[in-house]
Amino acid sequence: MLGTLIFSSFLIAGVGVWDDFHVISARWRFCIHLLAIVTFILSLPKLPVLVLFSIPINLPVVSIILYTLALAWLLNLYNFMDGIDGLASTEAISVCMSAVLLLLTQGEINWSLIIALLASCLSGFLIWNWPHAKIFMGDACSGFLGFILGVFALLTALEGWINLWSWMILLAVFISDASVTLMDRFLKGEKWYQAHCTHAYQYQAQNLIQTLKRQGASQNLARIQSHTQINVVVVAINIGWLLPLAFLANTFIFWGVILTLLAYLPLIFFVRRIRYSSCSAD
């Protein structure tokens, strides 16, 4: 399994590097992503079981399709959400450390160290990526980061440490914004797979920049302050709202789906509100 994970990771990072320096069609990029993801999933000895209330959903073919699509979406949405300074790394660090806390409450050390190591690497990167950023992830790093978080979710769920409902809750900020934006663009007939600046966090950043400029801040200072504020809000949501719900979902798995809905509904509401108000203003 480790060999296939390394192979899949190199494929995903490699196509990301190529996309950063050259033009590659979305179709080819998606095909390579699917190849990497399916290769990894088929290497697993078994797949984690998603429990819906007290009913285990254990259909191998359905699970393979579901987890393949989920990893593909997580990989791509992380690329979509890497649009302002510090956001992708701040989100990943807070998600990783939340997962570490859930693992430590159960006395699991090995996975805690592995996930904490990823958070440590991201912290070193964040020093240079914090507003005003001096370096950036690019497609190579953001895509790989989304993929590896999905891998951690599958493996820790497979071993029974953190169930999939809890992982969905921890990742809710990015999933909510990216999914709502994708659906809106798809329904409007737009090319949803192309780069754009219509995510809720991007609209909010622009709104904050305009507000700060009206208060006398320069363009550069307004950009730094707006990006910083959004990063702080994301961490506050992850720690203050999503982490407690993820802990409850991991403790009371029967209520996992209800707690997941509870986590997502206010986030979806605010994403739609920001997008609607910003689009109306445009």
Residue 100: which residues within 8 A CB-CB, separation 6 or more? 112, 115, 116, 119
Q: State the Cα–Cα distance between residues 122 and 149, nearest whole angstrom.
A: 13
40 vs 282, which has greater pLDDT? Answer: 40
Rounded to an integer, the average pLDDT of 229-253 is 97
Tokens of 192: 């949803």
Confidence class of residue 149 from pLDDT cuts 50, 70 and 90? Answer: very high
Provide the pLDDT for residue 20.
Answer: 82
Mapped onto helix, strand or coil, the DSSP state of residue 51 is strand
Give the gyration radius of the chain's Cα atoms: 19
Provide the pLDDT for residue 281.
Answer: 55
Residues 258, 251: contact at Cβ < 8 Å?
A: no
Provide the pLDDT for residue 26.
Answer: 81
What are the pLDDT digits (tens) for 111-147? Answer: 999 999 999 999 999 999 999 999 999 888 999 999 9
Mapped onto helix, strand or coil, the DSSP state of residue 55 is strand
Rounded to an integer, the average pLDDT of 5-23 is 89
Provide the pLDDT for residue 179.
Answer: 94
Provide the pLDDT for residue 280.
Answer: 54
Identify the residue whose tokens are 């950023």. 133
Q: Would you say residue 189 has pLDDT above 90?
A: no
Residue 274: which residues within 8 A CB-CB, separation 6 or more? 200, 203, 204, 207
109 vs 53, which has greater pLDDT? Answer: 109
Provide the pLDDT for residue 282.
Answer: 53
DSSP strand pairing (55-57 vs 50-52): antiparallel
Provide the pLDDT for residue 51.
Answer: 87
Rounded to an integer, the average pLDDT of 66-72 is 95
Provide the mean pLDDT of the chain: 92
Least confident of 52-61, 132-141, 173-182, 240-249: 52-61
- Could you tell me the pTM of the whole model? 0.94
Taking alpha carbons only, the member of 154, 174, 10 closest to residue 80 is: 174
Residue 185, CA distances (Å) to 200, 214, 269, 273 in order = 13, 31, 17, 15
